[in-house]
Structure 1
Amino acid sequence: MGSLAKNLIPRTEVVILNTIQKIPKTNSYNKYRQDLQSYVNYLNQYKTKRGKCYEKSFDLIGKYAETMERYDKPNATEEARRVRSLLKECGSETLTRDLDEWIDAYEKSNFDVESQKLTSEDTRKIMTLLQEVC
């Protein structure tokens, strides 16, 4: 969980903020700028509101994924395609790949073990992870 909160989540902020700076300042791009800003607002809530790190981190990554999906539609407007290009320039593809790799590794390390085979120490570690507050 540590690399997600300490490494990957901050990278989402860099990608989004850098993209916002590059979006043309015309009216036709306002909704896209606002869309990306709404992710930044959600990220700021993540940073300031205390809660269970596990839930907060996965919720935030879900929001990031939803945001990226809106720009991957085949019938996207010219402006949306331009924003998608800017997102890629700012590192979204590399970040998405790294997030996918982290999630795959996380699932393998935590869900390939049958619950009946968990030791009490394993259970304690998992419960500590799930209850950690940040």
Structure 2
Amino acid sequence: MNTLWEAAIKRGDLPITLELLGQGADVNARNCYGQTGLMLAAHAGYREVVETLIAHRAKLDITAKYGLSALMLAVIAGQVEVARALAQAGADLSLRGTGCPGFSDKTAYDLAAERRMQELSVDLQPKP
């Protein structure tokens, strides 16, 4: 991942993010931890950046350490509106975390339930 790209995402800098996208930045590039810009923005709660990355075809279901997706990272960080936006954009609700006891075999719904985030229960309920 380009350091300018990562810095812009981490700051929630929408104008620079848009500029870099216009210059051909790889929307799905990963940093040294395997996280995409969407994951970083979701965890930090930068909803406008998340929505912009989604509009630029960021892959919603890439996972990094412990099998966590952008949606799961938003839930873990308590970013309700970002989690809702990702779910509504079509993020895979059936993905399950791996490895770490706190995440292993848990969906975004499970993680939200553990954190008593009832406002997300309808949005994150896996569809049959």
Give the TM-score normalised by the residue count of structure 2. Answer: 0.24
Higher relative contact order (CA 8 A, sep 6+): 1
